[in-house]
Amino acid sequence: MTRTILITGGTSGFGAAAVTRFLASGWRVIATGRRAERLQALVDAHGDARLHTCAFDIRDEAAMHAALDALPAGFRDIDVLVNNAGLALGTAPAQRADLAQWRQMIDTNVTALVTLTHALLPTLIERRGAILNVSSIAGSYPYPGGNTYGGTKAFVTQFSLGLRSDLHGTGVRVTSIEPGLAETEFTLVRTRGDQAASDTLYAGARPIVADDIAETLWWVANLPPHLNINRLEVMPVSQSFAGFQIHRER
Ligand code: NDP
Ligand code: 8X3
């Protein structure tokens, strides 16, 4: 039976790679994002028989509900929700951070994620489906400048665990996927288009690439129905842990 997956943030990075991965293995895919031209490019590449795209800002609750209400009949029985759309903005310490950027991260990474999840829970319960939330190592390991971004991802991880607890007995699976350093448009977005900063961050690090996370999502989504991966932390081999910083008085 053909299964249906809704992937938010399908226009770039992990989400775009996941759209391709799931289409290639026969799934029906709903891809969302703001950039309509990127969604159209996916349709141009893959056709629209098993791909449906919806262009909307995920922070716009009315637009989200309109997109869900307008799903064609063949795409309504969603088996898997991938909450992937998200972003970091800025690397400044909290005391110099831009409050508007903090709000945008919370609205996107937290509020929109719970809104969409809430809307789809009845369908996912009926389908004994799965929720795959793209969190981050930034939710577990604080770093300077991570402040609100890390806070949103800590929420995503803990929300995933809470959902798992609430959905006990429904057969719905929930996974928090927590990638580390990954080269996508993430750093370009974070730095407002600073290609040099992005290139410098990833140079020589052999970071995670989008296809790695697409493959991880595909693996989790295709596990036997009696198995639940609760949390999955994925780093490139080049990334590991360092010690605490210590400020010394002089
Ligand atoms: P990209 O910037 O390449 O992709 C982000 C996606 O999110 C885009 O498709 C973008 O679509 C979508 N998005 C952002 N804001 C909105 C919005 N307001 N409405 C609708 N869609 C939106 O980055 P990644 O692929 O790396 O990021 C995907 C997820 O992975 C994010 O949640 C990120 O926090 C997380 N992550 C990334 C890591 C990394 O190092 N790259 C590591 C760990 C986690 P559009 O702009 O078209 O709206
Ligand atoms: C992205 C990973 O460490 O750059 O979520 O915040 S990190």
Positions in the chain short of pLDDT 50: none
So what's the pLDDT on residue 21?
98
Report if residue 244 sits inside a domain: no
Q: Is residue 107 part of a domain?
A: yes
**What CATH number is given to the structural domain containing 195?**
3.40.50.720
> How many beta carbons lie within 10 A of that of residue 166, not counting itself?
12
Ligand 1 atom closest to 88 (CA): 34
145-155 confidence digits (pLDDT tens): 999 999 999 99
Q: Is residue 143 part of a domain?
A: yes
> Within 13 Å and on the Cβ side, how many CA atoms surround 164?
17
Looking at the domain assignment, is residue 80 inside a domain? yes
Whether residue 248 is contained in a domain is answered as no
Strands (E), the chain: 4-7, 28-33, 51-55, 80-83, 130-134, 173-179, 182-183, 208-209, 231-234
Q: Could you tell me if residue 154 is inside a domain? A: yes
Check residue 238 and give its pLDDT. Answer: 98
Cα 88 off chain centre by: 12
Residue 247 lies in a domain: no
Catalytic, 149? Answer yes
Q: Does the pTM exceed 0.85?
A: yes
CA distance 118 to 132: 14
> What's the CA gap between 175 and 155, in Å, rounded?
13
Range of the domain at 62: 4-234
Say how many domains are in the chain.
1
Closest ligand to residue 63's CA: 1
pLDDT of residue 1: 86
User: Measuring from each residue's beta carbon to the nearest atom of ligand 1, which residues come in under 6 Å?
Assistant: 9, 11-15, 33-35, 38, 57-59, 84-87, 108, 134, 136, 179, 181-182, 184-186, 189
What gap in Å lies between CA 28 and CA 167, rounded to an integer? 24
